[in-house]
Amino acid sequence: MVNKITVVGAGNVGATTAQRLAEKELARTVVMVDVMEGIPQGKALDQWQSAPIEGFDSRVIGTNGYEETRDSEIIVITAGIARKPGMSRDDLLNTNAGIVKQVSQQIKSTSPNAILIVVSNPLDVMSYVAMKVTGFPRERVLGMAGVLDTARYRAFIAEALDVSVRDIQAMVLGGHGDTMVPLISYTSVSGIPITQLLPQARIDAIVERTRTGGAEIVKHLKTGSAYYAPSSAAVQMCEAIVLDQKRILPCAAWLEGEYGMSGLFLGVPCKLGRRGLESIIEVALTRGERDALAKSADAVREPMAAVKL
């Protein structure tokens, strides 16, 4: 347990993240901050009143300012507008870049030693904005993407095979968008390669559904985007850091030569511990996976170049 974790944004993703953090008792105090007056306060009070029933002692508080967030050990950034039907993640670029810039300026002032987990979309570019504005080292700025994308991939495989999700081992790398790269060569069910259990056409269909998994949910909801699975993914990263678990999770990390790339955030296998990003694991990829990862990186660089800070 750490002393304080802050969640920026009290919308569906932020509020659900705060609730999960409190229920797991990862911090003595969980702070929700949002510009909407009364929203973080009301949701935090509601969550705190669930504590006697759920049995957690983490105190949840809501605020419209950053003073209450001071000296947070971890900050999860969920602020920004959500995707709407027909809107790509890149359509969100300019609006959310401005929001994340303002948030990052506040964080730099009040919690200069925090570890940041960025959830705002477009994820890879917003992670870049947060690191650029705060000046934090890459070890303390991570994007939540691969954990979510991998969870979707695993869920679809479990559904196709009618087996437990617990037995699916998989990893999705690359940018958080239509060019993400599910690693078929590292996908297995209790150690059995997925290629021995499903025909290639079925695997290809699952890969495509994974890539459009967020859009599928947006299409159903019509006025919002996913938040249960994204919040679970962010909290899993927080848990790995708080408990110094040394977990290997796919996260958006700033590359400095790994996988032959530099100067961008991209989903790669990361070892997470109390210091944040402890190392990036470089795994051998097939020729097709290497090419797909390079294509995904190009898709991240383009909107990065369009960001004006």
| Domain of residue 210, CATH code | 3.90.110.10
What single-letter DSSP state applies at residue 33? E
Work out whether strand 141-143 and strand 276-280 pair parallel, antiparallel, or are unpaired: unpaired
Task: Give the residue carrying structure tokens 């402890």.
Answer: 278
Residue percentage of the chain with pLDDT more than 90: 90
Closest CA to 275 of 173, 181, 140, 158: 140
The answer to whether 197 and 206 are in contact (CB under 8 A) is no
Q: What is the mean pLDDT of residues 159-176?
A: 97
**By residue range, what is the domain housing residue 64?**
2-143
- Does one domain contain both 218 and 300? yes
Tell me: pLDDT of 89 over 60: no
Indicate whether 282 and 186 sit together in one domain.
yes
pLDDT tier at 87, thresholds 50, 70, 90: low
- Same domain for 156 and 289, yes or no, is yes
Are both 191 and 228 inside the same structural domain?
A: yes
Same domain, 197 and 88: no
> For the chain, how many structural domains are there in total?
2
Same domain, 169 and 253: yes
Whether the pTM exceeds 0.85: the reply is: yes
**Where would I find the H helices in the chain?**
12-23, 39-48, 51-54, 93-110, 123-134, 146-161, 200-211, 213-221, 228-242, 287-306
Q: What is the pLDDT of residues 103-113, one digit of tens each?
A: 999 999 999 99
Whether 152 and 244 map to the same domain: the answer is yes
Confidence of residue 237 (pLDDT cuts 50, 70, 90): very high
pLDDT surpasses 80 at 85: no
Positions marked catalytic: 176
pLDDT, tens digit, 9 for 90 and up, residues 116-137: 999 999 999 999 999 999 999 9
Which one-letter DSSP state was computed for residue 180?
-
